[in-house]
Structure 1
Amino acid sequence: MTSPADLAQLLAAVPGVVLRSSDELYPGRGAGLPVLEIQNAHGRAVLALQGAHLLSFVPQGGRDLLWLSPLAKFNPGKAIRGGIPLCLPWFGGHPDKSRGLPAHGFARTSDWQLESAEVLADGRHQLVLGLKDTLLTREMWPHHFHFRFAITVGSELTVMLEAEHQGHVPVEFTAAMHSYFAVPNVAECVIEGLAGCEQINTLGGITRLHNEGDVVIRDVHDSVYLDVPAVQIIRTPSGQTRIDSDTRSAIVWNPGTNALKGGDIGPAYTGFVCVERGDAFDNAITLKPGEVYRANMTISG
């Protein structure tokens, strides 16, 4: 992780970005992790250095578009429930189940470095975090890499995920920006922009379907939609959230009443829906040595 002294030096020239402990913003939730609070005339965001994990985004005068579980814990090496976790270099379970590797890769629980931070001419902030391979990551994924995650905080939130393959052999790569979006009641939201897509329902095995229309959440929902349009819109009785991305997959998830059995969501499951953009399942990428994968996403109210 970037040392406190290096962080202080980097941020001294960037007004509106403050290094805090998660305990200051979310007291009593675990051992605590360093987070960056970013605020300007256009909006506010909170970003954990562990996982390059966005926890909150509030456009000026608006509501938080992201959902963070009231039961979320902030502990080193443990995934945080909510916000936008980064799932890479594999999405879901690792293909070799015998190895016992963590679901959704290692990036979301790794310590990322703050590589740059600046105030743009229009008053927005742009930050870039990076993650490079280590002995530990190469035990799980035997390749040299440089991952980067750039966020731009304004009236919209724009992010870019980049994976540079620095190894010597082609490698299969999957990724998702596992976005948890806040909704008043998941049972009353409608997700537009997935009609006509192939749907892979992962509940109780793998079932392939043709999705005919808008997506609504009846109870437990866990499906991957392939070759999706750029834009999805989450509509609720009180407003909407727009997701715009150049990735090819969308994963829609909510645990439904299964969340009541324990874990770090509980009855709060009614307050979010995951509409995750990325490239997974049939949309997996094969990266050749020297190739760079890029995925862009913008969210707005």
Structure 2
Amino acid sequence: MISHLFLEQKSTLSDSVSLQTDSSGYEFLIIEHQKLNAAFALHGGHLIHFQLKGQEPLIWLSKTAVYNDQKAIRGGVPICWPWFGAAGEALGDNLPSHGFARTSKWSVADIKESEQGVELEFVLKDSAATRELWPFEFELVLKASLTSELKLELVSRNTGDKSFSYRGALHTYLNISSPESCRVSGLNETFSDSLKNSEVTTGDGSLLINSPIDSIYKKAPLSVLLDDKQFNRQLIMQNSGNDSEVLWTPWVDGAAAFADMPDNGYQTMFCIESAVTAKQGITVAPGQSHTLSTLIK
């Protein structure tokens, strides 16, 4: 799934984990475990690949994604933080969409291995550059548990002396066989449709993928399910710390408009995101933290 990146190994960090780079020096953490393969870009703390041995990849990555320090990667699980979508008037104009975490350099804080898989921690801390965009002190930790299940936990810690509020998402691109083979269920019945001026709509909690979709569903009562007949699998997504699930596909015209997505890319991806989208966000007091997570099995 990531063989097209042509990486060169730079160092070995554990039995299953190595640091590798492309020809421009862009850094990746490559996990080759007896039960799974995975990869992260240190730029963005960004999971770009997860695949259990003998199965289709769980996570979708664009074959035409751009890898540089200025742009978020198309595919994988971009981390939207500390805002979702536009920053809003209170923070000012001309701020990057979906925050700065997905275009910042993260550090590897911890690696643990077992027969079941690998656990990783990545850290992003405030700096002079981040405080120019968002005037708060923080420590953002991504905990990744890679076993027969994929669990990502985004921990927002307030290391300053004043409260902050954040919005964000684990913007998960799922790898699917084809839109017509898939059905999503377990959703909340109430959602707002961003393609219809955020019109609030009530449905039956299920969805077929047959047109452009950009909808924010209120938090699911239990698990969100994606049935993929052609892959013969059901993905079960359990989200916590979120107030909503965001579902998205650019469909035909949208994919064609993206330079970093193949024109047919919409046929093999679908996004189901664990998100905090309410205008007020989540408030984190000094010395406290909040965890946004997604578990996919």
| SS of residue paired to 2:77 | coil
1:164-243 maps to which residues of 2 (within 5 A)? 164-196=157-189, 198-238=190-230, 239-243=233-237
1:43-58 maps to which residues of 2 (within 5 A)? 43-58=36-51
Q: Select 2:257's aligned residue among 252, 258, 261.
A: 261
Residue matched to 1:270: 267
8 Å CA contact 2:40–2:46 kept in 1: the answer is: yes
Q: CA deviation at 1:188?
A: 3.2
Structure 1 position 285 matched with structure 2 position 282: yes
Residue matched to 1:251: 246
Under a length normalisation based on structure 2, what TM-score does the superposition of the two structures give?
Answer: 0.89
8 Å CA contact 2:192–2:198 kept in 1: the answer is: yes
Residue matched to 1:111: 105
Change (3 A) 1:168 1:34: same
The structure whose residues are more often helix, as a share, is 1
Aligned letter for 2:290?
A: Y
Q: CA deviation at 1:248?
A: 2.9
Listed one character per residue, the Cα deviations across residues 180-221 of structure 1 (whole Å, up to 9, x for unaligned) are: 00111124311111042x201111422111232311223111
Residue matched to 2:77: 84
Give, in whole Å, the separation in 1 of the partners of 2:188 and 2:125: 38
| SS of residue paired to 1:163 | strand
Residue matched to 2:15: 15
8 Å CA contact 2:165–2:280 kept in 1: the answer is: no
Q: CA deviation at 1:282?
A: 5.5
Give, in whole Å, the separation in 1 of the partners of 2:157 and 2:174: 28
What RMSD, in angstroms, separates the aligned Cα atoms of the two structures? 1.9
Give, in whole Å, the separation in 2 of the partners of 1:137 and 1:230: 36
Listed one character per residue, the Cα deviations across residues 2-35 of structure 1 (whole Å, up to 9, x for unaligned) are: xxxxx95xx54x2110111145xxxxxxx45210
Structure 1 position 101 matched with structure 2 position 95: yes
1:84-163 maps to which residues of 2 (within 5 A)? 84-96=77-89, 98-120=92-114, 122-163=115-156
- Hey, which bits of structure 1, 4+ residues long, moved more than 6 A? none
Which stretch shows the higher mean deviation, 105-114 or 203-212? 203-212
Change (3 A) 1:32 1:67: farther
Residue matched to 1:3: none
Q: Percent identity?
A: 29
Aligned letter for 2:252?
A: T
Change (3 A) 1:117 1:123: same
Listed one character per residue, the Cα deviations across residues 233-256 of structure 1 (whole Å, up to 9, x for unaligned) are: 111222222212213310000011
Which stretch shows the higher mean deviation, 248-257 or 232-241? 232-241
Q: CA deviation at 1:173?
A: 0.8
Give, in whole Å, the separation in 1 of the partners of 2:40 and 2:162: 33
Give, in whole Å, the separation in 2 of the partners of 1:229 and 1:282: 21
8 Å CA contact 2:170–2:293 kept in 1: the answer is: no
Listed one character per residue, the Cα deviations across residues 108-161 of structure 1 (whole Å, up to 9, x for unaligned) are: 0100011111213x4421110000001110011100000000111111112211
Residue matched to 1:28: none
Unaligned segments of structure 1, at least 5 residues: 1-6, 24-30
Give, in whole Å, the separation in 1 of the partners of 2:278 and 2:209: 22
Which stretch shows the higher mean deviation, 205-214 or 145-154? 205-214
Aligned length: 282
